[in-house]
Structure 1
Amino acid sequence: MASTAPLHRDEEPAFEWTLPGLHLKFDHRDDRPVRLVRLATGPEVPSAAAPWAIVDVITAGVEHRARNNQTLMHSGAGQRLRYAGHESDETELRIRQRAPEFGVEVLSVFRVAGPGLQIRHTVRNVADRSLVLLSVSSALVAVPADGAHDLLWGESEWLAEGRWRQRPLSDLLPDIDPAMHGGQYSRGLFSLTSHGSWSSGSFLPTGVLAAEGVPSIAWQIETSAGWHWEVAQTGATVTVGVHGATDMHHQFAVRLAPGEEFTSVPAGLCVADGGRDAAFAALTGYRRAIRELRTVDARLPVVYNDFMNTLMGWPTTERLLPLIESAAETGAEYFCIDAGWFAAMEGNWWTNAGEWLEAPRRFTDGLLAVIDAIRANGMRPGLWLEPEAVGVESPIAKRLPEEAFFQRYGERVNEAGHFQLDLRHPAARAHLDETVDRLADEFGLGFFKLDYNTNSGVGTDVDATAPGAGLLGHTRAFRDWLSDAQARHPNVLFENCGSGAMRMDYSILSVAHLQSTSDQQDFRKYAPIAAAAPASVLPEQAGNWAYPAASMTLEETAFAMTAGVMGRLYLSGFLNELSAEQSALVREAIALHKDWRHRIAASTPSWPLGLPGWEDEVVALQFDTGEESLLALWSRGGAAEIALPELNGRTVEQVYPVALPEWTVRVDGGSPAVEVPAGPAARVFEVR
């Protein structure tokens, strides 16, 4: 049970919040803001945190920083906040602070979610004049600057998602000898910032400070709009600042009239007694706790999609029917018709998209006949949709009012022939409601693949103080729309694609069923993407493409299928063209995935060889359920012997593919080692 306990009067004013697996302590005085001084997994274990203020607020007209530096920390308004009370229950701690001279009141909410905390801050204007808010931190936490920590961050781009880096903090934040310079803080920092409306287009909104021997911390920013996180040397501490959109980085500002409020984007914060893998395990448990699950989500079906390395946006009846039959034979449970189903056989379907009506003459007896064929083969049908996009030549572009689209400087935002709908506007919302309801009812759909292929930039200045605030408002409205659409269609699954994985964040993923992890078409390059995906997205949501091809050898076929086994198997490819031996490998992989999928959904990921590098010759990913694990090894180079000391005392048995040669597993002093042949080749093992 949660508890808060004020300390004795002769001690510094402080209070604690204790829950199973979490222990927090805060202090406050009349001359400084409330500080988080302890963050640990229990009262008797070491703390990850050093004392630091829990929130920073930057407003126009007040000095942005109380110290000269490049960070968003030490804000003038934030430093003047003072404790005004707190309360808690079994799930939430609420701390109130005020800075009366600036007309600012902040309510900080720490909500328990699995092994972690979801943190948000609500800023209220309590003055008698308007207030312009330029940024609000989502989470702040400091750790001792003792040189024990490594920083991990993820770089990303289209076709090369989830490239993780790990460096000692001492390499990133050099020692400038503060004592020689009057005790001043360093002005340097390490920071990552999103660009435009692709929340994971360049970097991942996740980070870890990992250490052995002292607790590690991990964080994620839960927004599809702008975000920024930074790590800075702050005297005897290193402080992590986690932010949504800011004026400095995203052209963000919100004008609050007297009495109005603004709530920061949520941030997830986890503490773990252990290093890198323990931190990611805590994040995994946290992500499961914040998902809004429905009954239909529990099925975890195998989905076939006709796009990747297959029809590539050009479906017809003649092309689809053989794929439908072969997908059903291999064990697929859903069949999604991807882009192009709405596109006329002539013209530019990209610039005409947006009305989402069946294309004339594309399907011999109409799209419904193809949908019926999917159902007749025992699968549930699905369709691709890019809900926020309207082609510049679409009738919808003229039918909806100007205010229903993103605009800047009085002109519509036009990216690559697409206008961007603004879901804050009721006409845009009504158009998407009508689209999804009509398609779901007309075709009896069980699946929508929602795509987002253009970066619309910093946002829209329509009904917004600044474009970054317009983008945030739209993304919040989009999440609400998606949640409401699922409530109206409780048996329909919704995938978040986001142009491969360019908008992969837990604002959307907390309500979406599935996440495509890449658009990468080279099966060899997909291995590090699939292996790194569970650092960013839950294993049961990580839609890893498995696209066997007739041109592949049997070893290459097994290699391609292994990516799908280790996550959510997202099937594609011309299955009807495969040899009998290849088809057997596909069926075997699907059967193994089905056997393990619910165990994968309860597992924690780990990386016996470290998070994969883009050019690594051997890549490994393990899903651990406690008594048993599923381990995949991909070989992309020459032959090697791979030691697995973390599996000391455990047995390692190959379970896929059974039709190809077993890789030799030797045991040396209790630790297994695997003889990995030259690639491309892959194997899946059960570890007990």
Structure 2
Amino acid sequence: MTYQRWTLRTDNTSYTVRLSPDGPWAELDAWGPLGVEDGPSALDRSRRTHFITPADAAPAEYLPYGLRPFTGSELVASRPDGEDRGVWWAFAGAEADEGSLRLAFHDELLGLRTVLHYETVPGTDVILRWTEFTATEELRLERLDSAAVNIPVSGVARLTYLTGQWSQEFQRTQLDLPRGTFTIGSLQGAPGHGYAPWLAVQDGESPAAYGIALAWPGNWHITAEAEPGGSVRVRAGRVPHEGVALLAPGETLATPRLACAFSPEGLDGLSRVWHRYERRLSGERLHRPRKVLYNSWEATGFDVEAAGQLELAKTAADIGAELFVVDDGWFTGRADDTGGLGDWWPDPAAFPQGFDQFVADVRALGLDFGLWIEPEAISPKSRLYAEHPEWVYRIEGRPGRLVRNQFLLDLGRTDVQDFVIETLDRLLGTYDISYLKWDMNRPPTERGRPGAGRVDLDAEHAAGYLRVLDHLRSAHPDVTVEGCAGGGGRIEHATIARTDVVWPSDNTAPLDRLSIQYGFLHAHAPHVMSSWVTDAPGVFDPRPRSLAFRFVNAMCGVLGVGADLRAWTPEQRAEAARWIARYKEVRDVIHHGEARLLGTPEDPSCGVQYDAGERTVVAALSTGRLDGAPLVPGRSARLRLRGLDPTARYRDTATGTTYSGAHLVHYGLPFAWSRDHDADLVVLMRE
């Protein structure tokens, strides 16, 4: 049988789509390493449809309710009165270019045109998928997923995903799914702390890994269904506010991008695919060094005043920091968390010589200057709330609910967006600020806009958020932007594409943070991972770790310091200065190199290996019991490296010891851990 078939190719993979021989839809023919499309499809289940329809059995790329009534559809549409619920479309043509594909389907009776979009990302093994809808009359979209992703399995599907809560984000979690449905998501107006919009699927213990990641900063879901016949079908997309999005006549609505990736090297190889993709998202900003910052929050809290901040800034400069960030507490009315949000003016009592003079004094120490702000938040005691109570999410006649003693601005309103843009422009235009930390510390609760009618408030808030970030990028291109939402509550590709770094968690305790960063690096790149050295005790794992451990752990991404340096001894400050100097020597390898995760936080030794050019950097960490050496016979702990040339020689630049690549891969890099030596940073030079 002949049918139309298209193949998209990335650097190392191919993705083949065909028109189904069983009906008017597209289905996956092959996805994997280059050449995998040469042969009969491993997903072909045509005509195997006892008690279900061909559409329900098909490895369909996208199907509406109507054509696929039983096993999960991506699109549910109806007329405004709820009549004619379902879509029965016909194929309306294809457009294929180098690296892109568009497949159109049209339901003339309902008046809906649906276009499936595919686009490869140069220099990566990522294929972007999204869908566009155009209506000739008003329609209701109850479900509008971005795509469906089909993954063949011969046995039990193994799902890997990232779970948690506030202060415990990005915990790598695995589930075997022999049959049934698995769903993760968020209805908190942001990706949330509970789950990341990211999923990996493997065929049992098979090393090959397939992954998806949704670029959407609002409500979302990912649903995986282990279907009869041997495949997993994953649907992903945004969740419209109140369960429906309205499509006006002549309007085109596009879904968020869903990034799809494949690696034959398992989850670790898949992580490198995502890292390369995020380096691509950073564009030219990737090549700007991520500076070592000092943030004063954990030292001073809300007690912000010029003299104390300058004392911290001088100490930070002495140990080698390059950037000083003043966190919460710098603006009027902010003695505690009950006031001030929305009134973004420096507190004259805290900066008696003027805020501009304070910034100049910080910069005179050789430091760049940064500022924390929470643009979506508003305090009920603020002047802004007194002037614009209508800017807050609210339901007419119902009480507003305070979370963290604050309300949330309706950023879907253009006047609120304009206010936020004007505020940021004023601050960045008036003061010499080169770093901005954008925080969001509460989800929307009473999510309404009286008088607006039926509006998709979640989509509008997300669009407003992205509009402000786009403005920051264009109007202030030299300002480094950090994304934060009570830690890792809003980290996804739409945010990463518009910021420079993100804050994975408010939890900076060493072993807790190790677990957070281990999960984070499965999905996201080191150059976007802001990580601090602090004095914070463990929340979930209170075992003490050395200052060296805290530094090596934080150096796995973008190094920062948040401890109260005034309480550190001269010896601690000197050690910190040595670590910061070492970090500056290797941060280009950490941020631009290929990263490999060595072991897990549950192992006695674990680490991260970074390779770039002739240099290999290994951040090694001891988490387990010691073996008793030298009091009883024992041997060094070893981390087996990967990806090295077995015939090459590698020299430890600190000790001069040389190893063959074969030795480092087979036996591993040795470490003699002790109570006082629980971390190390090794730089290997290929000779």
- Sort the TM-score into its range (normalised by shorter chain): 0.7 to 0.9
Is 1:301 the counterpart of 2:291 in the alignment?
A: yes
In the TM superposition, residue 143 of structure 1 has moved relative to its aligned partner by: 1.8
Q: For 1:334 and 1:668, how far apart are their aligned partners in 2? A: 37
Aligned residue number for residue 339 of structure 1: 328
Cα 1:537–1:494 change in 2 (3 A) is same
Cα 1:86–1:372 change in 2 (3 A) is same
Q: For 2:431 and 2:194, how far apart are their aligned partners in 1? A: 37
Is 1:505 the counterpart of 2:492 in the alignment?
A: yes
Q: For 2:93 and 2:339, how far apart are their aligned partners in 1? A: 55
Of residues 323, 330, 352 in structure 1, which corresponds to 2:340? 352
Q: For 2:338 and 2:651, how far apart are their aligned partners in 1? A: 49
Question: What does 1:567-582 align with in structure 2 at a 5 Å threshold?
Answer: 567-582=557-572
Gaps in structure 2 of 5+ consecutive residues: 45-58, 78-84, 628-635, 656-660
In the TM superposition, residue 444 of structure 1 has moved relative to its aligned partner by: 1.3
Cα 1:218–1:438 change in 2 (3 A) is same
Paired letter, 1:278: G
Aligned residue number for residue 470 of structure 2: 483
In the TM superposition, residue 494 of structure 1 has moved relative to its aligned partner by: 1.1
Q: For 1:606 and 1:490, how far apart are their aligned partners in 2? A: 31
- Larger displacement relative to structure 2 (561-570 or 456-465): 456-465
Is 1:125 the counterpart of 2:130 in the alignment?
A: no
Aligned residue number for residue 29 of structure 2: 37
Aligned residue number for residue 328 of structure 1: 317
Report if aligned partners of 1:604, 1:625 keep a CA contact under 8 Å in 2: yes
- Larger displacement relative to structure 2 (514-523 or 207-216): 207-216
Aligned residue number for residue 229 of structure 2: 236
Aligned residue number for residue 682 of structure 1: 679
Aligned residues: 637
Of residues 501, 509, 531 in structure 2, which corresponds to 1:544? 531
Paired letter, 1:368: D
SS in 2 for 1:524: helix
Q: For 1:288 and 1:458, how far apart are their aligned partners in 2? A: 38
Q: For 1:290 and 1:520, how far apart are their aligned partners in 2? A: 27
Q: For 1:199 and 1:352, how far apart are their aligned partners in 2? A: 26
Aligned residue number for residue 55 of structure 1: 62
Is 1:259 the counterpart of 2:244 in the alignment?
A: no
Cα 1:238–1:200 change in 2 (3 A) is farther
Cα 1:674–1:394 change in 2 (3 A) is same
Cα 1:102–1:398 change in 2 (3 A) is same
Q: For 1:225 and 1:97, how far apart are their aligned partners in 2? A: 28
Report if aligned partners of 1:22, 1:42 keep a CA contact under 8 Å in 2: yes
Of residues 186, 190, 214 in structure 2, which corresponds to 1:194? 186
Q: For 1:458 and 1:139, how far apart are their aligned partners in 2? A: 30
Report if aligned partners of 1:30, 1:82 keep a CA contact under 8 Å in 2: no
SS in 2 for 1:55: coil
Is 1:639 the counterpart of 2:630 in the alignment?
A: no
Aligned residue number for residue 621 of structure 1: 608
Report if aligned partners of 1:548, 1:560 keep a CA contact under 8 Å in 2: no
SS in 2 for 1:301: coil
Question: What does 1:260-659 align with in structure 2 at a 5 Å threshold?
Answer: 260-291=251-282, 293-294=284-285, 298-307=288-297, 309-344=298-333, 348-400=336-388, 402=390, 404-408=391-395, 414-457=402-445, 459-460=447-448, 469-547=456-534, 556-610=546-600, 612-613=601-602, 617-625=604-612, 627-640=614-627, 642-647=637-642, 649=646
In the TM superposition, residue 643 of structure 1 has moved relative to its aligned partner by: 4.3
Q: For 2:650 and 2:563, how far apart are their aligned partners in 1? A: 31
Q: For 1:655 and 1:201, how far apart are their aligned partners in 2? A: 40
Report if aligned partners of 1:344, 1:360 keep a CA contact under 8 Å in 2: no
Deviations 1:591-622 (A, max 9, x none): 22222222222223322214x35xx6544222
Report if aligned partners of 1:56, 1:78 keep a CA contact under 8 Å in 2: no
Aligned residue number for residue 89 of structure 1: 97
Cα 1:505–1:409 change in 2 (3 A) is farther
Gaps in structure 1 of 5+ consecutive residues: 1-9, 175-187, 659-664
SS in 1 for 2:493: coil
Report if aligned partners of 2:76, 2:141 keep a CA contact under 8 Å in 1: no
Is 1:138 the counterpart of 2:141 in the alignment?
A: no
TM-score by length of 2: 0.85
Paired letter, 1:518: S
Deviations 1:495-534 (A, max 9, x none): 1111111111121111101111211142332222233322
SS in 2 for 1:291: helix
TM-score by length of 1: 0.84
Aligned residue number for residue 3 of structure 1: none
Cα 1:419–1:92 change in 2 (3 A) is same
Paired letter, 1:423: L
Paired letter, 1:672: G
Q: For 1:83 and 1:414, how far apart are their aligned partners in 2? A: 50
Is 1:107 the counterpart of 2:115 in the alignment?
A: yes
Q: For 1:286 and 1:78, how far apart are their aligned partners in 2? A: 36
- Larger displacement relative to structure 2 (541-550 or 104-113): 541-550
Report if aligned partners of 1:565, 1:592 keep a CA contact under 8 Å in 2: no
SS in 1 for 2:146: strand
Aligned residue number for residue 178 of structure 2: 173
Cα 1:122–1:207 change in 2 (3 A) is same
In the TM superposition, residue 294 of structure 1 has moved relative to its aligned partner by: 4.0
Q: For 1:203 and 1:334, how far apart are their aligned partners in 2? A: 32
Paired letter, 2:144: V
Q: For 2:358 and 2:442, how far apart are their aligned partners in 1? A: 29
Report if aligned partners of 2:371, 2:433 keep a CA contact under 8 Å in 1: yes
Report if aligned partners of 1:383, 1:449 keep a CA contact under 8 Å in 2: yes
Paired letter, 1:204: A
In the TM superposition, residue 324 of structure 1 has moved relative to its aligned partner by: 0.8
Deviations 1:109-134 (A, max 9, x none): 112222201211011113x4x21001
Report if aligned partners of 2:296, 2:326 keep a CA contact under 8 Å in 1: yes
Paired letter, 2:303: W
Q: For 1:271 and 1:162, how far apart are their aligned partners in 2? A: 21
In the TM superposition, residue 338 of structure 1 has moved relative to its aligned partner by: 0.6
Q: For 1:668 and 1:107, how far apart are their aligned partners in 2? A: 50
